[in-house]
Amino acid sequence: MMRKTRKHAAAKIACFALAWIVTGLPGARAQSVATECHFFFAPGPAQAGCTGVTPDMRYTQERGYGFEPGAKIVAVDRGNGNPPHAGFCTSDTPFFFSTAVPEGNYRVTVTLGDAQGESTTTVKAELRRLMLEEVHTAAGQLATRSFIVNVRTPVISTGGRVHLKVPRETVEEAWAWDDKLTLEFNGERPCLCAMEIARVDVPTVFILGDSTVCDQSKEPYASWGQMLPRFFKPDIAVANHAESGETVAGSTAGHRFDKVLSLIKPGDYLLIQFGHNDMKSKEPNASETYKENLKKWVELVKAKGGLPVLITSMNRHSFQGNVIVNSFRDYPEKVREAAKEENVPLIDLNAMSKTLYEALGPEPSIQLFEHNPELTKFDGTHHSPYGAYELAKCLIEGIKRDKLELASHVADDVPPFDPAKPDPVAGFRVPPSPGFTNLRPLGD
């Protein structure tokens, strides 16, 4: 027992105690060192300084890493004693691996493939954030890919906590706020050979918004914010603080904006998209108050050296004939006015989504939205993974059109996107995650 305890303690020291070098200055960023966590998933002993992971290793707080319950994981030995060529772990269903880490941004580098067979792996993080899409390797080929994952907790460094929704965020969405980094390995045949995790100092794209933006925890729902990481290079983080049912006023009162403001640094971005729930306010001059609240946020972010970007709400599935009609009254225009008055970039997702939906037409465009036949009412607000993916492409195109510096971080394999020429749904190949719900997200 003592030997096992020492082994686990040594692994945790290798992963975490050597992880950070801090300058000691107030507000200084933690710098990554060459090695933080090295995991190997092939059978047999791991190399010195590395941690071998076997299929029976479930995540525990004591161990600080391991597989989450659910999948039947097997380790395959390819007879080569030199990791990562020695073998891999795989499963015929999606599987999850978690590592305990402090709040921050982490570069994850995975080695995928099989010395004797093909593999296809899609990787998601935390709550279904798309990181890698269909990494295919031929027999005998290994592929190494990196991506950045943001990990957060509800604690605000300047005081207080985010007011999480109970039980939604404390149970169903707990992985979005806990003290570990969780990865989902999915695809036709995911083959995980090795993994490195290192804390890094990179720019962060923060997001605040509602259910059309947030990380939806279960199929068949998805939002553009959780698709966005796939479209960036591994030199920038996406921190999605949006949540279902939120408004600008509600995110202020719930300290979601305070959380972002406590973290944002010069060179970071804040993407802001609200409107679906704000427009329901019965208060006098509600839309003008909405606009003024947006402007206050913009000013506070600018004061911290951050770069705010305002985004108009995408349309609902509000067709009259073959034309989408605006269901948001003057709220999109208030966002445009706020962006102009504050001299900040605007991504007009309201206009781009109109083009996107109309290009498909009233019936085919239903595929962009969650369409659960078990629900008695069609949900014309919340999107399917395909719809979220297409809207994320609209966001990336908006970033390029506005010539934001952020465009330099867009992944090299992302082609130009024309909302008038959407991708066919038949070509959408992001596999569904485990977990399904019949409950609609909050808001409408």
Confidence of residue 371 (pLDDT cuts 50, 70, 90): confident
Single out the residue in 151, 185, 217 at which a domain terminates.
Answer: 151
Q: How far is CA 387 from its chain centroid?
A: 16
Looking up tokens 């966590």 gives 37
Tokens, residue 421:
């020429």
Q: Is residue 166 part of a domain?
A: no
CA distance 411 to 393: 12
- What is the pLDDT at residue 19? 39
Total structural domains in the chain?
A: 2
Whether 415 and 269 map to the same domain: the answer is yes
Higher pLDDT, 28 or 391: 391
Report the pLDDT averaged over residues 88-104.
97
Q: Is residue 321 part of a domain?
A: yes
| Single-letter amino acid code for the residue at 18 | L
Q: Is residue 156 part of a domain?
A: no
Is it true that the peptide bond before 167 is cis, omega within 30 degrees of 0?
Answer: yes
Question: Residue 292 pLDDT more than 50?
Answer: yes
Q: What percent of the chain has pLDDT over 90?
A: 84
- What is the pLDDT at residue 47? 73
Q: Is residue 209 part of a domain?
A: yes
CA distance 408 to 91: 36
- What is the pLDDT at residue 376? 67
User: Using CA atoms in the order 432, 435, 437, 443, what is the torsion angle rounded to 10 degrees?
Assistant: -80
Single out the residue in 151, 179, 211 at which a domain terminates.
Answer: 151
Q: Which residues contact 126 (CB under 8 A, 6 or more apart)?
A: 149, 151, 175, 176, 181, 182, 215
CATH number for the domain harbouring residue 28:
2.60.120.430
192-199 and 141-151 as β-strands: parallel, antiparallel, unpaired?
unpaired
Whether 255 and 332 map to the same domain: the answer is yes
Higher pLDDT, 5 or 358: 358
Read off the pLDDT of residues 119-145 as tens digits, 9 standing for 90 and up: 999 999 999 999 999 999 999 999 999
Question: Residue 33 pLDDT more than 80?
Answer: no
Whether 117 and 28 map to the same domain: the answer is yes
Whether 136 and 217 map to the same domain: the answer is no
Of 439, 413, 420, 7, the residue nearest 233 (C-alpha)? 413
Question: What is the residue range of 65's domain?
Answer: 2-151
- What is the pLDDT at residue 46? 72
CATH number for the domain harbouring residue 365:
3.40.50.1110
Whether 284 and 377 map to the same domain: the answer is yes
Report the pLDDT averaged over residues 68-87.
87
Report the pLDDT averaged over residues 109-116.
96
Tokens, residue 350:
């309201």
Whether 249 and 369 map to the same domain: the answer is yes
Q: Is residue 396 part of a domain?
A: yes
Q: Which residues contact 316 (CB under 8 A, 6 or more apart)?
A: 327, 380, 381
Report the pLDDT averaged over residues 57-69.
96
Q: Is residue 190 part of a domain?
A: no
CA distance 158 to 14: 30
Whether 338 and 246 map to the same domain: the answer is yes
CA distance 292 to 358: 32
Report the pLDDT averaged over residues 82-108.
93
Strands (E) across 250-378 are located at 269-273, 307-311, 319-320, 323-324, 346-347
| Single-letter amino acid code for the residue at 293 | N
Report the pLDDT averaged over residues 203-225.
98
One DSSP character per residue, 124-143 reads EETTTEEEEEEEEE-TTEEE
Read off the pLDDT of residues 223-256 as tens digits, 9 standing for 90 and up: 999 999 999 999 999 999 999 999 999 999 999 9
Question: Residue 25 pLDDT more than 60?
Answer: no
Read off the pLDDT of residues 380-399 as tens digits, 9 standing for 90 and up: 999 999 999 999 999 999 99
Q: Is residue 178 part of a domain?
A: no
Whether 145 and 55 map to the same domain: the answer is yes
Q: Which residues contact 36 (CB under 8 A, 6 or more apart)?
A: 15, 16, 18, 19, 196, 197, 198, 199
Whether 237 and 324 map to the same domain: the answer is yes
Average pLDDT over the chain reads 91
Whether 7 and 125 map to the same domain: the answer is yes
Whether 400 and 261 map to the same domain: the answer is yes
Q: Is residue 279 part of a domain?
A: yes
Read off the pLDDT of residues 172-182 as tens digits, 9 standing for 90 and up: 999 999 999 99
pTM: 0.92
119-125 and 180-189 as β-strands: parallel, antiparallel, unpaired?
antiparallel
Whether 208 and 97 map to the same domain: the answer is no
Question: Residue 104 pLDDT more than 50?
Answer: yes
- What is the pLDDT at residue 359? 98
Element holding 289 (H helix, E strand): helix 286-303
Report the pLDDT averaged over residues 294-311.
98
